């Protein structure tokens, strides 16, 4: 499988040129449902090609949750969170689904985009290894070689993870590896582990190698920050009435419905992409994704409800990691007015 959720904050966020057919004319922005209801045509660009994490969008569309909110949803594959942030800010897509570090870096570099709410509020960032390596605590990483990708969010935050667990960067060796090659590096034995996302690479690696995979999660060892969420550009926020508020509500309902019905939700992805993982991998990816929906501050609340304190913590982490030049106020990144109220 190709790597997903790529983020290289060192690459400038040059705005992409608008494609002539990106949004179409005003007459192309509405449709009519089978019941005769007028719907707003809406595009959502994912962070990557469809995988298990995206099941709620397909399930919500299948169950007509988006239609209930007056939305005719088109789901598009993405090519990494950074590009999704760029495209959303440039108005090439109405909404995006992107990793919060990419949103922070984009806003920091002038991309006119805001988060409408982070849904994966516990980071899936983790050190992943085969269970036989017996890596059960951060201390077990001493002397290990780990596949990572220079400049991405994982590699930038890993030193913070080490410091929080009384380890020095010199205690481990990071082997810079192309994102597509990290899984292969572990399977071949060239590295002992990789830096990846528990809701993505791990299930894929387990499926390919037919071996159990262990996870040393950042969030369980002193370091948490926001992950993927819904974003919109200024054109959508100011030019399409209450669309942003309706979209946020629809996405939240879709995630709540998928959480209650995980198997049908995953099944709704059938045919979503030629690159779709196997059913088993999809199910495992979504199962893990459901463990990421809340922090202590939002436990028991609807999916997508954020708090200013959790946002500030995330901003502070990535300022420390050097992925934003200077942490701006929370309101510069998160549009609480159009988001969900706790």
**pLDDT tens-digit map of 158-217:** 999 999 999 999 999 999 999 889 999 999 999 999 999 999 899 999 999 999 999 999
Q: Report percent pLDDT > 90 for the chain.
A: 85
Q: Report percent pLDDT > 70 for the chain.
A: 92
pLDDT classification of 3: cutoffs 50, 70, 90: very low
Q: Which one is predicted more confidently, 13 or 235?
A: 235
β-pair partners for 174: 146
Which two structure tokens, joined as six digits, stand for 167?
Answer: 């380890």
pLDDT classification of 22: cutoffs 50, 70, 90: very low
Report whether pLDDT(19) > 60: no
Q: Give pLDDT, residue 1.
A: 42
For range 71-88, the mean pLDDT: 96
Report whether pLDDT(11) > 70: no
Q: Give pLDDT, residue 341.
A: 78
Q: Give pLDDT, residue 211.
A: 97
d(CA 198, CA 285) in angstroms, rounded, equals: 8
Report whether pLDDT(321) > 70: yes
Phi, psi angles (nearest 5°) of residue 113: -140, 150
For range 294-307, the mean pLDDT: 98
pLDDT tens, residue by residue, 34-54: 889 999 999 999 999 999 999
Q: Which residue bears the tokens 């996405």?
A: 251
Q: Give pLDDT, residue 326.
A: 74
Contact 48, 5 (CB under 8 A): yes
Q: Give pLDDT, residue 9.
A: 40
* pTM for this prediction: 0.90
Domains of the chain: 30-122+226-332 (3.40.190.10), 125-220 (3.40.190.10)
pLDDT classification of 142: cutoffs 50, 70, 90: very high
* Residues belonging to the chain: 342
Cβ neighbours for 47, distance < 8 A, ≥ 6 positions apart: 4, 5, 78, 80, 81, 84, 96, 97, 98, 99, 228
pLDDT tens, residue by residue, 238-270: 999 899 999 999 999 999 999 999 999 999 999
Q: Interhelix angle for 153-164 vs 100-108, to 10°?
A: 110
d(CA 76, CA 266) in angstroms, rounded, equals: 17
Taking alpha carbons only, the member of 180, 219, 178, 170 closest to residue 200 is 180
pLDDT classification of 226: cutoffs 50, 70, 90: very high
Taking alpha carbons only, the member of 164, 165, 190, 166 closest to residue 177 is 190
> Is residue 186 classed as helix, strand or coil in its secondary structure?
helix
Q: Give pLDDT, residue 180.
A: 85
Q: Which residue bears the tokens 């449709």?
A: 31
Report whether pLDDT(141) > 50: yes
Report whether pLDDT(127) > 90: yes
Mean pLDDT of the chain: 91
Contact 158, 222 (CB under 8 A): no
pLDDT classification of 119: cutoffs 50, 70, 90: very high
Helices assigned H by DSSP within the chain: 55-62, 65-68, 81-89, 100-108, 153-164, 182-187, 201-209, 234-239, 243-260, 262-267, 279-289, 308-320
Report whether pLDDT(121) > 80: yes
Q: Give pLDDT, residue 168.
A: 97
pLDDT classification of 28: cutoffs 50, 70, 90: confident
Q: Which residue bears the tokens 């290289």?
A: 8
d(CA 96, CA 34) in angstroms, rounded, equals: 27
CA 50 to chain centre: 12
pLDDT classification of 151: cutoffs 50, 70, 90: confident
Contact 280, 107 (CB under 8 A): no
Q: Give pLDDT, residue 179.
A: 87
């Amino acid at each position: 499988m190709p790597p997903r959720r790529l983020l290289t904050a060192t690459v400038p966020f040059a705005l992409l040129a608008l494609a002539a057919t990106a949004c179409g004319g005003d007459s192309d922005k509405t449709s009519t449902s089978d019941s005769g209801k007028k719907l707003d045509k809406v595009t959502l660009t994912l962070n990557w090609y469809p995988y298990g994490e995206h099941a709620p969008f397909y399930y919500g569309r299948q169950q007509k949750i988006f239609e209930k909110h007056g939305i005719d949803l088109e789901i598009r594959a993405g090519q990494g969170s950074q590009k999704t942030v760029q495209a959303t800010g440039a108005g090439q897509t109405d909404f995006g689904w992107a990793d919060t570090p990419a949103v922070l870096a984009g806003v920091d570099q002038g991309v006119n985009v805001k988060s409408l709410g982070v849904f994966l509020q516990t980071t899936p960032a983790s050190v992943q290894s085969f269970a036989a390596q017996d890596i059960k605590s951060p201390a077990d990483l001493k002397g290990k070689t780990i596949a990572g990708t220079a400049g991405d969010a994982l590699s930038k935050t890993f030193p913070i993870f080490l410091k929080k667990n009384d380890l020095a960067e010199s205690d481990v060796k990071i082997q810079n590896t192309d994102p597509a090659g990290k899984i292969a590096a572990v399977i071949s034995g060239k590295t002992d582990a990789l830096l990846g996302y528990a809701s993505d690479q791990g299930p894929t690696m387990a499926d390919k190698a037919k071996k159990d995979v262990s996870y040393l999660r950042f969030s369980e060892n002193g370091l948490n920050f926001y992950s993927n969420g819904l974003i919109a550009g200024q054109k959508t926020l100011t030019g399409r009435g209450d669309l942003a508020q309706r979209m946020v509500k629809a996405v939240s309902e879709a995630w709540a419905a998928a959480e209650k019905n995980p198997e049908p939700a995953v099944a709704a992805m059938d045919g979503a992409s030629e690159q779709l993982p196997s059913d088993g991998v999809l199910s495992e990816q979504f199962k893990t994704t459901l463990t990421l929906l809340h922090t202590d501050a939002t436990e028991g609340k609807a999916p997508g409800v954020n708090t200013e304190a959790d946002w500030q913590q995330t901003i502070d982490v990535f300022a420390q990691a050097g992925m934003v030049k200077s942490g701006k106020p929370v309101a510069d990144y998160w549009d609480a007015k159009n988001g969900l109220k706790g």
